[in-house]
Amino acid sequence: MELFVFVCASVMVLVGALGVIFRKHPVHAALSLVLTLFGIAVLFVAQSAEFLAAVQVIVYAGAIVILFLFVIMLLGVDKAENLQIEPLTGLRWIAGVVGLGMVGLLTTAVVSGSDVLRLRGLGIANSVAGENADANIQQLANSIFSDYVFAFEVTSVLLVVAVVGTVLLARRRTGKGIA
């Protein structure tokens, strides 16, 4: 069963990722990105990270892709690009070679390092329905709000800075005054 889920989700992820690179239309690329993000969410569920799967769907597929689509519509670039023109001669070939080399290197590293993956921590609670259905959320909350509570507070500052910066950047300049 886990194999079936893994194969289906991998096909979703890879088809979506290839769609992001190869679709001419930016809107189609954004929709392919949604497919990839859903596949990653399925893989999160398969690895008993239910909370992250929910956050993945809500934040990435729900917010970030919608933001992409808004910007595509706002800029009016929702027309197909001509992908026949190569910006630099030989760029595609070099990029393909670099990509294959990266796959090879990373795969070699992962396979040769796979025996390092031993049990080390305290264990991850499985969310079994009926017993303790939100064990994953409780455990993650224990980690975030005890070990990483300072980093958590800093992320709130980061989000405020991001909001203010975006408002300043995307604001239309009106005559005099700052920005």
Site residues for another protein, window 54-83 (CB under 8 A)?
55-56, 59-60, 63-64, 67-68, 71-72, 74-75, 77, 81
Q: How far is the CB of 165 from another protein (least distance, A)?
A: 5
Task: Give the SS3 label for residue 101.
Answer: helix
Question: The tokens of 101 are what?
Answer: 């080399």
Q: How many whole angstroms separate alpha carbon 68 and alpha carbon 27? A: 9
- Residue length of the chain: 179
- Nearest distance in Å: CB 26, another protein: 5
Query: To the nearest whole angstrom, how small is the minimum distance from the Cβ of residue 176 to another protein?
Result: 18
Query: According to CB under 8 A, which residues from 89 to 128 bind another protein?
Result: 91-92, 94-96, 98-100, 102-103, 106-107, 110-111, 114, 117-124
For residue 162, state whether it binds another protein (rule: CB under 8 A). yes
Task: Answer yes or no: are the C-beta atoms of 9 and 39 closer than 8 Å.
Answer: yes
The token duo for 124 is 């991850």
Nearer to another protein, 119 or 178 (CB): 119
Angstrom distance (rounded) from CA 70 to CA 27: 10
> Measured from the CB atom, is 96 or 132 closer to another protein?
96
Distance (Å) of CA 37 to CA 42, 108, 130, 154, 178 = 9, 25, 28, 26, 39
Please identify which residue in 12, 35, 49, 127 interacts with another protein, judged by CB under 8 A: 49
Q: Decide if residue 132 touches another protein (CB under 8 A).
A: no
